[in-house]
Structure formats: structure tokens, C-alpha cells
Amino acid sequence: MLHTGRMGAKTGLFRAVPAEVRPYLTELVRRTRAVCGPGLTGVVAVGSLALGDYRHGRSDIDVTVVVEGPPPAAALRELADALDHRRLPCPAAGLELVVYAAAFARVPSGEAGYLLDLNTGAQLPGRVAFDTAGAPSFWYVIDRSVAHQDGIALYGPPASEVIAAPRPTDLYTAIRASVREHGDGEGHLADNRVLNGCRSVVYCRSGRWVAKRDAAGQVAAAEEDFRPLIEAAVRSFERPRAAALSLPDPQVRAFLAWVRARVDENAAAVGA
């Protein structure tokens, strides 16, 4: 059973988390509690799980862990080892797990700020990092924004109580950097580049993060010129990663240039 810690009785957690990943997340929480002990503040599902758009065989499992401390370096290494795909097979494309100190997570920040950044899984390049030096911060800022808005507390208090929302200037700086990253395209599936662009535009228009496919529907309905590309990106996103469709790169780049202009307009409005 997944635990809600100090929240007391079970909530609607099982309705929010797809059945395919519940046993894995149960064991992830158990191992994290075993390593962190009483210093564990919270374990939060973020990303596609939080936004209700998890696709088994395509999506990652994104988890944020918040601890008092920071804990000893040996404990962080032990946690990374305990959650490694070779020891705890991830049923999704992979696990992206980030550990923050509670004092950092509770305060708005534009920094990466992690104590541990772990990527592990059958379809992810392995990564274990304990130092933010040289790491881009934008992924972490956006994930904390999603966590504050809709994170699912797997253990501990509600996500919004342990993870602060970034300041608007920091968040828009992060969104701009994300759009630039996807504009370059290095290491990203074409459909994900398009759908992340849609999600960024919808956030700029509404001030809320929504699922990628929901964002795609909103942008496609409003922007007829881009509708065929966006619809193709959604069809591709519904396939396994290895079977993703090829999208015309000039059209993808043109769309992301349009996205960047929309984001820049909103960033300028908040002084980012």
C-alpha cells in the first residue's frame, strides 16, 4: 500500500496513479523510507503522473523526494543504489528522481538545487549526480512548478506544503530555456518537442500546467496552420518510443519558433 504519512487515512491516491505502476511506487516509497528514516519529509509523483497523462511504455516516472538535512553523502549514494533499475526494475520507460533538502524545496528558487539527480531505466541514459555544478536548472524549476500545482503525495503532506511554486520571473526564464532546448532538438523525440511546446503555450495563456495531449488539443483548435503537425505529434506520442513517427523537422522548428515568440511575450510581461 502506498502511504500518505502524516496525512493520515488513505486519500484518492490509487485513483490518481495508474495500476501498472502502483506496486513499483509502493516499493520505491518503502526503500526511500528505509534509507532516509525519520529525515524523510515527502515523496511526490510529478510529471505525467501528476498531470494525468501517463502512458505506459512511453512515459517516464517522475518523483521528487524531500528530506530534512541534508543527509550524509553515503545515504544519498545508498538511495541511488537501492532505486537503480538493476535492483528495482522500473516498469515505465525509466525513473527520473530528484532529492531536495526541505529547506530548499519550501522556498521559491530558480536554481537546480538538488542533492541527488537519478535517471535509471530500460529506455533512459543512466545518470547519478550529487552536484548541480554545470547542470541546467530549467527542468528542475518546471518540475517543482508542476509539483506545487498537482503533485501526488505518495508519502508525507500535500505536495504544495513541501514544494514551493517558483517565482514568475524564474519560471518564465525556465520555460524559455526549455523551448530553446527543444528547438535545438538534440536528444529529444520530435513529438515530445512539439507537445512540450504546446504545453508551454497553454501555460502562458492560462497560468496552469496541463497534460500534453490536452495542451495539444487547445493549441490545434486555435492555430489552424499548425494543426496537422500537432495532430501528427499526438498520434506519435500514443505509440511506444521505439515506434515514434518521424515529423518534418522544418515544420517542427517553425512551430517551436512560434512557441518561443509566445513565451517571450509573456516572459517580458513579468520581467523575465
Radius of gyration for the alpha carbons in the chain, expressed in angstroms and rounded: 18
pTM of the full structure: 0.92
| CA distance linking residue 115 with residue 98, whole number of Å | 8
Length of the chain as a residue count = 272
| CA distance linking residue 199 with residue 18, whole number of Å | 22
184 — phi, psi (to 5°)? -70, -35
**Interstrand relation of 95-101 and 127-129 (parallel, antiparallel or unpaired):** unpaired
Q: What is the pLDDT along the chain (272 residues), one digit of tens a residue?
A: 344 444 333 445 555 789 999 999 999 999 999 999 999 999 999 999 999 999 888 899 999 999 998 899 999 999 999 999 999 999 999 999 999 999 999 999 999 999 999 999 998 889 999 999 888 999 999 999 999 999 999 999 999 999 999 999 999 999 999 999 988 766 688 999 999 999 999 999 999 999 999 999 999 999 999 999 999 999 999 998 889 999 999 999 999 999 999 999 999 988 87
Structural contact between residues 218 and 206, judged by C-beta atoms closer than 8 angstroms:
no
| CA distance linking residue 258 with residue 235, whole number of Å | 21
| CA distance linking residue 248 with residue 95, whole number of Å | 29
Task: Please name the residue ranges forming H helices in the chain.
Answer: 13-16, 22-36, 47-50, 73-83, 102-105, 138-150, 159-162, 168-184, 190-206, 212-222, 227-237, 249-269
| CA distance linking residue 157 with residue 44, whole number of Å | 9
